[in-house]
């Protein structure tokens, strides 16, 4: 910690890799006591280091890491250091995006969080910043999405703040179903609700003496208990009515780490538990390949009628045996033509304690002109094309995909994000290099950011690989050939080798 403080106080400031490693070390220390004053101090310190890295090098990814760290520090808004972090982070959000509307949206989110809190000084500062940016106020639909996300998580009250009103949960809101994927080392439990509702997360000890994680969902109707026994890290799932709603509890077979977040369209609350915290090393002994789409979801279709689901499975089948021969355990989220939900794909990767998660897809765009190979990492997308692509892969509206920004802000792990970006760079270079000898005109679309649901909650570095544009007449024809699929598979294998070797 003193080393990082010294860099900022008197210098000299180190090279980018050293500074990033230092910031990650500080951030990991902050996570041990995230909501304390010390956690705020350390997250702010890590954020300031990453902001300096961004200003020295001009890389937007570094700026986004700084923004996420400032958000992590903004957990005690009634105290000046946390309020400072929220405001600086909001300003940096607009600067990195080159869009003052995004700074306004971030400040608006902070202002809504401050409602009802004994923090008049902080709220006056935030509202002063909003007044300064009044000309850049986003559309009401954007502010409405922020209200919806905060209210659903129980972070801020619902009401009219100049955007469209958000309806309060009503008595006919119900828990539609519970889906689970439970293994010995990890589990994912998904609660599907009829509509959004505020919820609160807690931990206690069950009557059996076992640890338990619970989610209290307000305004959720139900008059009967439901109980389900399972085998693995989660031994029992119970739903029971309470005075103000319903409690869903997960009884565990021992101590575990948990993460809870919500997704929309349909609205669901996702509970991830794991025996171990997210890994921070670079060992690669097990990977998960995720062939996109499948079953009644064909994905995109080429002008000649080739289905994306068939191309992605073929590429995965070419990658898996090569890696297996090299001693790497390979898990496929699907091994044939079947439908697998987005939640289950990530859940299988977590349950397998994988070291890498590679989701394989084919890109598509309106018309047939766009072409090239692209690789994506999980992040808030600012580009219209990236938002539409994420909405297509998520099978949601663009507004729902945009809401991921506030969800991801509370879930980012700096080290994991950096490793995802590093692997994405390796994969992008390896794939283009594998294809160009036979197809020199292939376009290198680069590494991009977007909010793909399939990557949300993954406890290991993960990327989404868009092999080529199946909507393009030429690339759609190439994707139908065994040779082109084989070259793309070679690129994935070579990238995994490079990552494993520490390159």
pLDDT at position 238, please?
92
Which of these ranges, 127-131, 149-153, 344-348, 353-357, has the smallest mean pLDDT? Answer: 149-153
Assigned domain for 161 exists: no
Q: Are 475 and 468 in contact (CB under 8 A)?
A: yes
Give the strand pairing for 462-469 and 356-363.
parallel
- pLDDT at residue 256 tops 50: yes
Please state whether the predicted TM-score (pTM) of the whole model is above 0.75: no
Whether 170 is covered by a domain: the verdict is no
Query: Residue 94: enclosing H or E segment and its boundaries?
Result: helix 80-97
Q: Which of 247, 274, 301 is the last residue of a domain?
A: 274
* Residue of 250, 268, 252, 269 whose CA lies nearest to 260: 269
Q: For the chain, give the mean pLDDT.
A: 83
pLDDT of residue 319: 96
255, 337: one domain: no
Domain that holds residue 132: 2-152
Task: Please indicate, yes or no, whether residues 32 and 80 belong to a single structural domain of this protein.
Answer: yes
Collapsing DSSP to helix, strand or coil, 187 comes out as strand
* Axis crossing angle, helix 16-30 with helix 414-435, rounded to the nearest 10: 140
Tell me the per-residue pLDDT of 327-344, one tens digit each, with 9 for 90 and over.
999 999 999 999 988 888
Q: Are residues 126 and 230 in the same domain?
A: no
Q: Tell me the average pLDDT across 402-408.
A: 47
Which pLDDT does position 118 carry in this prediction? Answer: 85
Judgement on whether residues 323 and 369 belong to the same structural domain of the protein: yes
Q: Note the pLDDT tens digit of each residue in 196-243.
A: 888 888 888 888 888 999 998 888 876 567 788 888 899 999 998 887
Number of domains making up the chain: 3
126 and 41 part of one domain: yes
pLDDT digits (tens, 9 = 90+) for 422-476: 999 999 999 999 999 999 999 999 998 776 776 777 888 899 999 999 999 999 9
Is 440 found in the same domain as 331?
yes
Question: Cβ(332)–Cβ(163) under 8 Å?
Answer: no
438 and 327 share a domain? yes
> At which residue do the structure tokens 């619970």 appear?
214
Calculate mean pLDDT across residues 245-266: 86
Q: Per the domain annotation, does 132 fall within a domain?
A: yes
- Decide which of 119, 152, 185 is a domain's last residue: 152
Whether 279 is covered by a domain: the verdict is: no
> Looking at the structure, do residues 266 and 292 belong to the same domain, yes or no?
no
CATH code for the domain in which residue 219 is found: 2.60.40.3500
Describe the strand order of the beta sheet including 186-193 as a list of residue ranges.
175-182, 186-193, 268-274, 257-263
Position 361 in a domain: yes
Shared domain for 269 and 297, answered yes or no, is no
Helix H segments across 326-413? 342-351, 384-394, 398-402, 404-409
Other residues' Cβ atoms within 10 Å of the Cβ of residue 167: 10
342 with 439, same domain: the answer is: yes
Last residue of a domain, one of 274, 294, 328: 274
For residue range 70-122, what is the model confidence (pLDDT) as tens digits?
998 998 889 999 999 999 999 999 888 888 888 898 999 899 888 878 888 99
Q: Does any domain span residue 460?
A: yes
């Amino acid at each position: 910690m003193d080393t990082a403080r010294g860099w900022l106080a008197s210098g000299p400031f180190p090279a980018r890799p050293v500074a990033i490693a230092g910031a990650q070390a500080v951030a990991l220390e902050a996570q041990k006591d995230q909501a304390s004053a010390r956690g705020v101090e350390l997250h702010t310190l890590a954020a300031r280091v990453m902001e300096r890295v961004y200003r020295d090098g001009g890389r937007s990814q570094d700026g986004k890491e700084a923004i996420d760290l400032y958000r992590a520090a903004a957990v005690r808004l009634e105290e000046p250091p946390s309020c400072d972090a929220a405001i600086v982070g909001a300003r940096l959000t607009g600067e990195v995006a080159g869009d003052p509307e995004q700074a306004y949206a971030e400040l608006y989110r902070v202002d809504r969080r401050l409602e009802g809190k004994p923090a008049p000084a902080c709220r006056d500062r935030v509202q002063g910043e909003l007044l300064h940016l009044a000309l850049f106020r986003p559309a009401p639909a954007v502010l409405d999405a922020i209200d919806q996300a905060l209210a659903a998580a129980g972070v801020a009250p619902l009401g009219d703040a100049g955007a469209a009103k958000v309806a309060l949960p009503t008595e006919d809101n119900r828990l539609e179903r519970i889906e689970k994927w439970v293994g010995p080392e990890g589990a994912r439990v998904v609660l599907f609700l009829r509509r959004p509702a505020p919820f609160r997360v807690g931990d206690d000890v069950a009557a059996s003496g076992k640890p338990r994680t619970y989610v209290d969902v307000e305004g959720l109707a139900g008059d009967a208990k439901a109980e389900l026994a399972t085998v693995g890290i989660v031994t029992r799932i119970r739903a029971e009515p309470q005075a103000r709603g319903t409690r869903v509890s997960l009884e565990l077979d021992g101590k575990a780490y948990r993460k809870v977040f919500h997704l929309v369209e349909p609205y669901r609350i996702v509970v991830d538990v794991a025996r171990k915290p997210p890994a921070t090393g670079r060992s690669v002994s097990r990977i998960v390949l995720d062939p996109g789409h499948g079953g009644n979801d064909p994905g995109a279709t080429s002008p000649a009628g080739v289905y994306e689901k068939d191309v992605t499975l073929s590429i995965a089948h070419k990658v898996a045996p090569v890696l297996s021969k090299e001693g790497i355990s390979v898990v496929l989220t699907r091994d044939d033509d079947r439908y697998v939900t987005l939640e289950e794909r990530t859940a299988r990767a977590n349950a397998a304690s994988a070291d890498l998660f590679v989701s394989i897809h084919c890109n598509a765009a309106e018309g047939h002109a766009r072409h090239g190979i692209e690789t994506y990492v999980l992040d808030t997308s600012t580009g219209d094309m990236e938002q539409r692509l994420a909405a297509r892969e998520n099978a949601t509206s663009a507004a729902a995909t945009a809401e991921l920004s506030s969800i991801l802000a509370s879930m980012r792990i700096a080290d994991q994000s950096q490793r995802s970006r590093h692997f994405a760079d390796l994969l992008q270079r390896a794939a283009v290099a594998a294809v160009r000898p036979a197809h020199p005109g292939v376009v290198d679309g680069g590494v991009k950011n977007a909010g793909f649901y399939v990557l949300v909650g993954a406890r290991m570095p993960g990327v989404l690989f868009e092999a080529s544009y199946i909507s393009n007449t030429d690339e759609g024809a190439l994707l139908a050939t065994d040779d082109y699929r084989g070259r793309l598979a070679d690129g994935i294998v070579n990238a995994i080798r490079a990552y494993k070797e520490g390159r």
